[in-house]
Amino acid sequence: MLSQNERERYSRQIMLFGEEGQERLKEATIFIAGAGGLGSPISIYLAVAGVGRIVLVDKDTVERTNLNRQILHYDRDIGRKKTASAEEKLQAFNPDIAVEVIETTIDETNVHDLVGDADGIVDAMDNFPTRYLLNRTALEKKIPLFHGAIRGLYGQATTVLPGKTACLQCTFPHPPPREVFPVVGITPGFIGMVQATEVVKYLVGTGELLANRLLLWDGERAVVEEVALEQNPSCEVCGGRNIYGRNTP
């Protein structure tokens, strides 16, 4: 049940989702991988929307070079762990939610325990090996993966629904080379908002998700395009040799 304070805090959202929808947000747990450029706007907006429990994982320390885009962190946070900085800000944004931060590197040995009983996984990473790991974990746990990635003034987003859509490995079978890529903060801001919107829609059961659709943002031209996706029956993760032992439609 929502408290009177929560009814006031979320009154404009309740006009859209009803109290039942807001209660779904309150009861949800969302796992966010990364507290950087994408993780910052995603976690902030999920916190203020009232997602009841946010689990945020990051290993890094705040550096000055982060500050043009990682809006969870301030100049005074340089040298602090991103998890500590993020927890402080998110609890200040909304003291009515639970914020759990974990300082570690996500890998094969811990990913299942880290995700735990989350209702969804948000990919706010900057490398494809970890993204592929999150993708496999989402499929095995049968929970959605909300993917986003950026470079410069360009970005992309899609939502993976296990058993229903192409997985991340179908869409990107070969990872791009590792690099220190250029970025301006407005790009992860834009893509992060798309990802946060997908999470909220999924949790309250409204709207049309980016299922089997890849949204492409071209900030140079201020153009949003869309690419239709299909599951690859030969995909080693979700296709002919998938975890379910059969091809999914």
Average pLDDT of span 9-21: 98
pLDDT at 239: 80
* 48-84: pLDDT as tens digits: 999 999 999 999 999 999 999 999 999 999 999 999 9
Looking at every residue in the chain, the average pLDDT score rounds to 94
Confidence of residue 246 (pLDDT cuts 50, 70, 90): very low
* 45-49, 176-180, 184-188, 207-211: range with lowest mean pLDDT: 176-180
Q: How far is CA 104 from the centre of its chain?
A: 17
Cβ density class 143-160: b for 16+ within 10 Å, e for less = bbbbbbbbeebebbbbbb
Confidence of residue 242 (pLDDT cuts 50, 70, 90): very low
Residue 245, pLDDT > 70, answer no
| Residues 66/77, Cβ–Cβ less than 8 Å | no
pLDDT at 243: 42
Residue 248, pLDDT > 50, answer no
- 74 HSE (CA, 13 A, CB side): 5
pLDDT at 240: 46
Confidence of residue 178 (pLDDT cuts 50, 70, 90): confident
Residue with tokens 């993966």: 145
pLDDT at 60: 98
Domains of the chain, each with CATH number or no CATH: 4-160+171-210 (3.40.50.720)
Q: How far is CA 222 from the centre of its chain?
A: 23
pLDDT at 176: 86
Average pLDDT of span 26-42: 98
